[in-house]
Amino acid sequence: MLPALTYLQFHLVFSVPAVALLWFLAPRYDDAVRRRRSAIAIAVLVAIAYAYTTPWISYMIRRGAWWYADGAVLVRALSIPLGEYLFFAIQTVVTAFALHVIGFDPTYRDGDFARAPRVAGVVVGVAMLVGGLWLVALDPSFLYLGGLIAWVGPVVALQWAVGGGYLARTPRTWLAATLLPASYFWVVDRIAIGMGTWSISSELTTGVAVFGLPIEEILFFTAAGLMAVNGLVLFEWVLDWNDQRAATLSESASSRPPKRDSETVDD
């Protein structure tokens, strides 16, 4: 067994190089508006990641779904190690850079507000929330899996309620941008578990694993990446929709004949 890394050492070895490589490969947009919007989208998604993930991760750690090796953690807040907080931002940034390396078109098109995919996405998201909570109540071994599904469900419902039509016509983009970074995190997560940097509870998980990596961890990195990717693409897509709507309103206003002043009638 390789010697265990501290959480910060793990980031230096695995996370920082991934961020640096993808930052180097990411396109530098000539369009200043696109460049600014991309940067704002990443910043907003990082903030949302902290706000939405912190309570859930804190709860899971306090319940004992996973824990860290002695000496692997230097600082904690709300039971969460500093390294875990750093990971919220790192995974979001890595996923964002991967998305831009792959490339995506945030242009709004007619049909992107189609009702069917939006309703379907909401139904799936609500079903995930209800089903995940049911699993948590069913048996302790479903705590991590059920809690994860319930945590993701509301985000799925919200994102598809907003841009279900757009997401339905661009699956290759967001699937690729989700799975490529997730695959990297699967590998390094398995290495960290093998080193003993952190451990996953056998009592609070299903015990199903792929090459030694618990299925819950596989689904976590996939789900977190998916939420980040869809949030990023929808952020720019909504702005493009607003641009087109504003341009249409402006053209409509400019095409109207000027109003005539009412004629005065001399007595």
Output the DSSP codes for 91-153. Answer: HHHHHHHHHHHH-------TTTT-HHHHHHHHHHHHHHHHHHHHHHHH-GGGHHHHHHHHHHH
pLDDT greater at residue 225 or residue 4: 225
Q: Provide the angle, in degrees to the nearest 10, between the axes of the packed helices 143-169 and 171-195.
A: 150
Residue 86 located in a structural domain? yes
* pLDDT for the residue 40: 96
| Bridge partners, 76 (sequence order) | 81
Mean pLDDT, range 249-266, rounded to an integer:
62
Helices (H), 196-260: 215-255
Residue 56 located in a structural domain? yes
Residue 137 located in a structural domain? yes
State the residue for tokens 């899971």. Answer: 60
Mean pLDDT of the chain: 92
Residue 253 located in a structural domain? no
Residue 132 pLDDT grade (very low, low, confident, very high; cuts 50, 70, 90): very high
The domain tally of the chain equals 1
Residue 45 located in a structural domain? yes
Cα–Cα distance, 218 to 211 (Å, whole number): 11
* pLDDT for the residue 258: 62
- pTM for the model stands at 0.90
pLDDT over 70 at 3, yes or no: no
Cα–Cα distance, 77 to 58 (Å, whole number): 9
pLDDT over 90 at 266, yes or no: no
Encode pLDDT of 216-253 as tens digits. 999 999 999 999 999 999 999 999 999 998 888 777 66
pLDDT over 90 at 47, yes or no: yes
The highest-confidence range among 31-40, 154-163, 237-246, 247-256, by mean pLDDT, is 154-163
* pLDDT for the residue 94: 97
Least confident of 6-15, 40-49, 70-79, 242-251: 242-251
Residue 248 located in a structural domain? no
Helix (H) or strand (E) holding 214: strand 213-214
Residue 265 located in a structural domain? no
Residue 256 located in a structural domain? no
Residue 16 pLDDT grade (very low, low, confident, very high; cuts 50, 70, 90): very high
Give the domain extent around 25. 7-243
